[in-house]
Structures are given as structure tokens and as C-alpha cells.
A and B are shown apart, each in its own frame.
Chain A
């Protein structure tokens, strides 16, 4: 009998083009060291012209399917804030290109928390019997919504995709996914936003300014809210599972800023060495962040079979969440 969703495979992919801090330093009148010290980011991968979110999602999805050994999954969920088109959803096209025609496929939008929300949804679908297995992909191409002249956002983000395959199993298995704590606060919607391009703006009589299509973020407020919400959700999920923070082997947190991650570890009283970190190489990849960090950590063997893993994220909405899983024995290709 199914008592849990079990992580059966993981894969990730980033586009080959790399933009280093040195390339941005001159444009923004800062130094590589200044960006690193404030964010932990040394470089980010950026999609070339003509490459869209689905292209990244297909690559990551294919790798996760290979890693799982499950040829045909029962559902495809794509967490993204940068779909290929406003209509239709991107997931059906991804499913089709992966050779999975006919399966249910839908997008899920919770910005940087999207993958975590997707894990909760996919896990519930499996436990409820709606699907035997789910391919869950987090993919974003933030380079398509960033203002290249904005020093407060442009250096922070990279493009990428990560994916996992979840299957029906039982809670005593390595890979078993536990319960989730999810939350939102729409009163903070304006803190992380692309103001234009949606129904709100289209409902207005005046034509939108192009600048309103760019991503905006109030960094100061987001920093403290991100740490606070992730720490609270993490503490709540640990309490519910009867686990002390010291018993967590790895934290795979949303890779938004190394200093957010370190402050989160400090708030939870977990040593910073237990953080999975790849932000230095990929920046903030939004919905791709957690599965990409999982794939990187598994590829360099800093995630091992049986590890108790805390996952937590915070993003636009505002949205946040945390969950627990045990890491399975999986083979993972390096994401690049």
C-alpha cells in the first residue's frame, strides 16, 4: 500500500552560456568581490536567444527520468514563473517532447517556492492515488524578465532547470517524502513582482510601458521575511516530525543569497556546513533552485543515501514552505 511518495530520480540542466561577475562589474560600477560578498554569487548561466523555459525543462526532465529508471510517469508538473507563453501552460509541451503524450500536465506558479509547492502537490497526488508517479520540474528563464540595467536584480539571477521523479512507495524507504508546511501572504505581493504583462495591466486603458514588464524586488524587506518565514516553516515541519534541528543532515534551501542561507542556518541552530550550496555557480534560478541544488549536491556526493534532508524556500506571492525527505540511492549526472 502506498504510504508515501518516494524520490526515485533527480536531474538538472543549465544553459551553457556563463556570465561572470567580471562581465557585470563594469556595467554596474562594482567589483567581482562586491557581488560575491553581498550575494555569494560568482557566475550565472543564461539562456541564449531562442532558448525558452520549456527547452531547459525538457533537458532536466529527461535527466530525471533517466536517473529514476521509470520510463513513463503518470503526470508532469512544471513549476515556473516564466512560462513559454501566457496561454497555454508549458507543461503539456514539455510532456509531449519527453515522449509522454496524453498524461496530465500542468504548470504551477509560486515563483521561487514553486518547486516546493509542486513537491507537496505531487506527493498528495501519489498518496491519494491520482498518479503512480509524477515528473516534477522546476524551470525558469529569469533572464527574459530582468532589466539588464538594474544592478539590484540583474546580477542575482540565472537560468536553469531541475527535476525529480516521485513514485508511490512507503515511508520507511530511503527517498520517502514527509509532510509539508506551506504558506502565503498576498499583502506582500508588491515586494517581488513583474507589474505589467498580466490581466491587471491589460484591464487598464493605457498601453503598458515596457519597463513594467521587468522584474522588481524590494531586497531589504525580502531578506528578513525570507529568513523568518523559512525558519518558521522549517521549525514547524521539524516539530511535527519529532525531529530536532541537530538531527538534520542537509538543508537544501532556496539559493537566493548565501547570506540568507547562512542566517537561516543560524536561526535554526544548524551548522552552516550542512547547507547545500551551489549559488556561487548558478545564482538564483527561481523554481529550479532546489532541484538544481539537489542534483549538484548528489553529483558531488555531498548528499548521500539515508541523509535526512530539510528543504525550504521563499518566493514571490509572498509564498514559502518547508518539507522533509530522506535522500535515496540515485545516480545523477552533473547538471552541466
Chain B
């Protein structure tokens, strides 16, 4: 399991009735009730929680939880290379 999944699942549970521990990598954002405005809120929540630069356009392209994990990983690598 991706080590960031529990933290991401806690963030995603803001919009969803699904419990964080039940959120899986192949769940779609639609499954989790993340609508278009929620995606904007999610962009800001991910920036704060994971301290990564994520663009709202990227979040709008994401279909699944796995896509978000991939963006977080890429964002962290970008942050590390800037340090």
C-alpha cells in the first residue's frame, strides 16, 4: 500500500461518507463525491497537507485515488529537487 494513502484518505473523507480506512487506491473521485468545487478545495487541502505544488488543472484530470497519490509523489520529488 502507498504510505501516503491513510493521510490522503483522511483528506478525502471531508467530502465523502466513506470512512477513511475503507478508501482504496482504485476508488474514483466520483465514487467519493468529489465534485468540481470539491476538486478546488482538494487542491488546496493537498498543498497544505503534503506541502506540494499541485495545480487545480491536474486535480481536474485525476480520475482515481491512485492518480492523486501519483501527483503527490511527483510533487514531493519536485519539492525535493528545489531544495
Task: Please report the C-alpha to C-alpha distance between residue A221 and residue B48 in the assembled complex, in whole angstroms.
Answer: 17
- Interface bin, chain A: 10 to 19
Decide if A263 touches B56 in the complex (CB within 8 Å): no
Task: Please tell me if B69 contacts chain A, counting CB pairs below 8 Å.
Answer: no
- Expressed in whole angstroms, the minimum distance between the Cβ of B69 and any Cβ of chain A is 20
Task: Please tell me if A220 contacts chain B, counting CB pairs below 8 Å.
Answer: yes
Decide if A266 touches B45 in the complex (CB within 8 Å): yes
Task: Please tell me if B34 contacts chain A, counting CB pairs below 8 Å.
Answer: no
Cβ of A228: which chain B residues have Cβ within 8 Å of it?
Answer: 44, 47
- Expressed in whole angstroms, the minimum distance between the Cβ of B60 and any Cβ of chain A is 7
Cβ of B37: which chain A residues have Cβ within 8 Å of it?
Answer: 38, 223, 259
- Expressed in whole angstroms, the minimum distance between the Cβ of B7 and any Cβ of chain A is 15
Task: Please tell me if A227 contacts chain B, counting CB pairs below 8 Å.
Answer: yes
Cβ of A223: which chain B residues have Cβ within 8 Å of it?
Answer: 37, 40, 56
From B43, B44, B60, name the one whose CB has the most chain A CB atoms within 10 angstroms.
B44
Task: Please tell me if B41 contacts chain A, counting CB pairs below 8 Å.
Answer: yes
Decide if A263 touches B60 in the complex (CB within 8 Å): no
| Interface residues in B30-46 (C-beta closer than 8 Å to A) | 37, 40-41, 43-45
Task: Please report the C-alpha to C-alpha distance between residue A266 and residue B45 in the assembled complex, in whole angstroms.
Answer: 9
- Chain B interface helix/strand/loop/mixed: helix
Residue of B40, B44, B45, B48 touching A220 (CB-CB under 8 A): B40
Decide if B48 touches A267 in the complex (CB within 8 Å): yes
Task: Please report the C-alpha to C-alpha distance between residue A223 and residue B45 in the assembled complex, in whole angstroms.
Answer: 13
- Expressed in whole angstroms, the minimum distance between the Cβ of A324 and any Cβ of chain B is 22
Task: Please report the C-alpha to C-alpha distance between residue A228 and residue B48 in the assembled complex, in whole angstroms.
Answer: 10
Decide if B60 touches A220 in the complex (CB within 8 Å): yes
Cβ of B41: which chain A residues have Cβ within 8 Å of it?
Answer: 259, 263
Cβ of A38: which chain B residues have Cβ within 8 Å of it?
Answer: 37
Binary contact readout A244-264 vs B (1 if CB under 8 angstroms, 0 otherwise): 000000000000000100010
Cβ of A31: which chain B residues have Cβ within 8 Å of it?
Answer: none
- Expressed in whole angstroms, the minimum distance between the Cβ of A213 and any Cβ of chain B is 28
Task: Please tell me if A224 contacts chain B, counting CB pairs below 8 Å.
Answer: yes
Task: Please report the C-alpha to C-alpha distance between residue A266 and residue B15 in the assembled complex, in whole angstroms.
Answer: 14
Binary contact readout A267-297 vs B (1 if CB under 8 angstroms, 0 otherwise): 1000000000000000000000000000000
Decide if B60 touches A224 in the complex (CB within 8 Å): no
- Expressed in whole angstroms, the minimum distance between the Cβ of B62 and any Cβ of chain A is 14
- Expressed in whole angstroms, the minimum distance between the Cβ of A79 and any Cβ of chain B is 27
Cβ of B40: which chain A residues have Cβ within 8 Å of it?
Answer: 220, 223-224, 259, 263
Between-chain CB contacts (< 8 Å), 28 pairs: A38-B37, A220-B40, A220-B56, A220-B57, A220-B60, A221-B56, A223-B37, A223-B40, A223-B56, A224-B40, A224-B43, A224-B44, A224-B56, A227-B44, A228-B44, A228-B47, A259-B37, A259-B40, A259-B41, A263-B40, A263-B41, A263-B44, A263-B45, A266-B44, A266-B45, A266-B48, A267-B44, A267-B48
4 A-B pairs besides A220-B40, A259-B40, A263-B44 with CB distance below 8 A are A220-B57, A228-B44, A266-B44, A266-B45
Going nearest first, the 3 A-B pairs with the smallest beta carbon separation are A223-B40, A224-B56, A263-B41
